[in-house]
């Protein structure tokens, strides 16, 4: 749930301290080139689901990852759009053509779906954010063979991210984080990061709220405001920058994350060059022109062909979502009594 203002402040501070390792824990290893936005966006845009004439889902479960999007896909299915699924066979509330749980990816596993894909002018492939590069390469190869039939200006690749921070972090130059911080790191800043292992001996500074896993392993905790308690910018999965506005004041000594980092930078002798919200947002626009167009989806990118290198794919590994509990997927819902009761009720079914 890290906002873009905080992400750029942390990156600027890290760079001023001589550190270039800034990573986002929710970025899958399937993102080959963060400089090319079309490799990590939902390229047809969310409204583009209504225009798709065939949909293929790979390693994702939109019912738990994006329920509103899932309702839109269900609408398309009711209107006759063929839906294929490669990955775990789950109930999405509408019928799908299951193409197997694991690679290799081949539409020929079902003749009717293969024919629909061959004839599609606006195919849409929904890819889970945690699919590895080899799976992404297979997806690209599948559509490369059908490139001549795809409508000009249509890019079928649609990456579905699970975090509000991911696209903004990639836009600002963050890379994909490993599951654990490499050994030998002496100082680790965790900006609301809770799902990454930190090596013994590292000094951990945690900036966040709700006292989740990251705070429990930290040496220093700097309390920050939640998204309802600050003016902030986020970028959604289709690449649309959006402003969130403060509804209530943060409790106690909590402050906006970027303000904490600004104060810390001055104490460390590397003061950041902005003092107010306007200044930090100007910095966002310097790094990425995307932030100059608030509430605007990016222009649809033309499919430019394969960007991933082919590799071995674990044929026995069933592709599935990483979300195990729909009701508790972030620090706020994990701290919610209502969501804990919903989780317990689901477990007792």
Residue 281 has pLDDT above 80, yes or no: yes
d(CA 206, CA 261): 11
Query: Model confidence at 143, in pLDDT bands (50, 70, 90)?
Result: confident
Helices (H), the chain: 4-16, 62-65, 67-78, 111-119, 133-144, 166-171, 213-216, 257-267, 277-287, 331-334, 337-347
266 or 199, which is more confident?
A: 266
The predicted pLDDT at position 305 comes to 56
The CA-based angle 306-46-5, given to 5 degrees, is: 85
DSSP assignment letter at 278: H
Average pLDDT over every residue of 182-207: 86
Query: Model confidence at 310, in pLDDT bands (50, 70, 90)?
Result: low
Each as own residue / partner, the long-range contacts of residues 323-329 (CB below 8 Å, 24 or more positions apart, any chain) are 323/61, 323/64, 323/65, 323/162, 326/64, 329/162
The predicted pLDDT at position 227 comes to 92
- Least reliable range by pLDDT among 7-21, 237-251, 320-334: 320-334
The predicted pLDDT at position 312 comes to 56
d(CA 247, CA 227): 9
Average pLDDT over every residue of 89-97: 93
230 or 109, which is more confident?
A: 230
Query: Model confidence at 306, in pLDDT bands (50, 70, 90)?
Result: low
Distances (CA, A) of 237 to 114, 241, 242: 28, 10, 11
Whether 3 and 230 have beta carbons less than 8 Å apart is answered as: yes
User: Which candidate, 82, 43, 88, places its Cα nearest to that of 65?
Assistant: 88
d(CA 83, CA 74): 9
User: 332 φ, ψ to 5°?
Assistant: -75, -50
Residue 309 has pLDDT above 60, yes or no: no
- Least reliable range by pLDDT among 46-50, 93-97, 135-139, 215-219: 135-139
Average pLDDT over every residue of 27-48: 76
Average pLDDT over every residue of 24-51: 78
Query: Model confidence at 8, in pLDDT bands (50, 70, 90)?
Result: very high
Check: pTM over 0.85? Answer yes or no. Answer: yes
User: 222 φ, ψ to 5°?
Assistant: -110, 110
Chain-centre distance for alpha carbon 248: 27
d(CA 331, CA 212): 6
d(CA 131, CA 319): 8
The predicted pLDDT at position 162 comes to 83
Quote the radius of gyration of the chain (alpha carbons, Å). Answer: 21
Indicate if the alpha-carbon torsion angle 62, 63, 64, 68 is positive or negative.
positive
Task: Calculate the dihedral angle through the C-alpha atoms of 335, 329, 238, 58, rounding to the nearest 10 degrees.
Answer: 180
The predicted pLDDT at position 91 comes to 92
Q: What is the pLDDT of residues 122-134, one digit of tens each?
A: 999 998 877 777 7
């Amino acid at each position: 749930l890290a906002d873009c203002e905080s992400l750029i402040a942390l990156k600027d501070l890290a760079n001023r301290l001589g550190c270039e390792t800034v990573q986002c824990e929710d970025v899958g290893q399937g993102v080959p080139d963060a400089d090319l936005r079309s490799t990590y966006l939902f390229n047809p845009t969310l409204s583009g689901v209504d225009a798709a004439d065939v949909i293929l889902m790979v390693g994702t479960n939109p019912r738990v990852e994006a329920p509103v999007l899932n309702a839109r896909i269900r609408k398309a299915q009711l209107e006759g759009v063929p839906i294929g699924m490669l990955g775990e066979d789950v109930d999405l509330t509408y019928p799908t053509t299951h193409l197997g749980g694991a690679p290799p990816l081949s539409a020929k596993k079902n003749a009717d779906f293969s024919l629909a894909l061959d004839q599609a002018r606006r195919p849409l492939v929904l890819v889970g954010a945690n699919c590895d590069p080899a799976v992404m390469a297979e997806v690209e190869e599948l559509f490369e063979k059908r490139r001549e039939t795809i409508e000009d200006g249509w890019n079928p690749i649609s990456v579905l991210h699970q975090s509000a921070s991911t696209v903004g972090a990639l836009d600002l130059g963050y890379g994909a984080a490993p599951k654990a911080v490499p050994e030998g790191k002496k100082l680790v800043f965790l900006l609301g990061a809770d799902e990454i292992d930190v090596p013994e001996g590292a000094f951990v500074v945690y900036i966040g709220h709700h006292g989740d896993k990251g705070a429990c392993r930290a040496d220093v905790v700097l309390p920050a405001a939640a998204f309802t308690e600050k003016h902030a910018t986020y970028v959604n999965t289709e690449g649309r920058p959006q402003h969130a506005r403060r509804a209530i004041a943060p409790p106690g000594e909590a402050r906006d994350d970027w303000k904490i980092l600004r104060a810390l930078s001055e104490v460390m002798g590397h003061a950041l060059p902005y003092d107010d919200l306007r200044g930090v947002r100007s910095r966002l626009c310097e790094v990425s022109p995307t932030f100059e167009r608030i509430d605007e989806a990016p222009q649809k990118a033309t499919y430019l062909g394969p960007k991933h290198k082919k590799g071995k794919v674990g044929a026995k590994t069933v592709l599935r979502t990483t979300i195990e509990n729909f009701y508790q997927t972030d620090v706020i819902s994990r701290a919610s009594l209502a969501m804990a009761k919903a989780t317990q009720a689901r477990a007792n079914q």
